[in-house]
Amino acid sequence: DAKTTQPPSMDCAEGRAANLPCNHSTISGNEYVYWYRQIHSQGPQYIIHGLKNNETNEMASLIITEDRKSSTLILPHATLRDTAVYYCIVRVYNTNAGKSTFGDGTTLTVKP
């Protein structure tokens, strides 16, 4: 699985958009990009995933560059409850795809 690089920490003002970058320059053609977040003492929560097209759901938007070497997770209107560690993962499409390789993630702090 390709490695990912994320900034260790970011701050965001409440109500503003939070843009979390991820570099995955060694991504392969059969690898998807997934984003999770983890709030203290809870398990990672799935947010969104994509292959090469931009994706949007009720939680966030995912923007993947045309060369697929980087992506950005966008929380359109951050709230205090969005304070968490955010993980960007790339994972191979596989009939038994079970392994996700986590880095250290980005600690997002949303401030009032």
Partner 1 sequence: DAGVTQSPTHLIKTRGQQVTLRCSPKSGHDTVSWYQQALGQGPQFIFQYYEEEERQRGNFPDRFSGHQFPNYSSELNVNALLLGDSALYLCASSPGGGYQPQHFGDGTRLSIL
Interface with partner 1 by CB under 8 A: which residues? 32, 34, 36, 41-46, 49, 51, 87, 91, 93-105
Using the minimum distance from each CB to partner 1, give the nearer residue, 36 or 75. 36
CB of 61 to partner 1, least distance (A): 16
Using the minimum distance from each CB to partner 1, give the nearer residue, 40 or 112. 40
Q: How far is CA 43 from CA 38, 46, 84, in A?
A: 6, 10, 11
Q: How would DSSP label each residue in 18-38?
A: EEEEEE-TT--TTEEEEEEEE
Tell me, what DSSP letter sits at residue 6?
-
CB of 14 to partner 1, least distance (A): 26
Using the minimum distance from each CB to partner 1, give the nearer residue, 1 or 14. 1
CB of 13 to partner 1, least distance (A): 26
Cα separation, 6 vs 76, in Å, equals 19
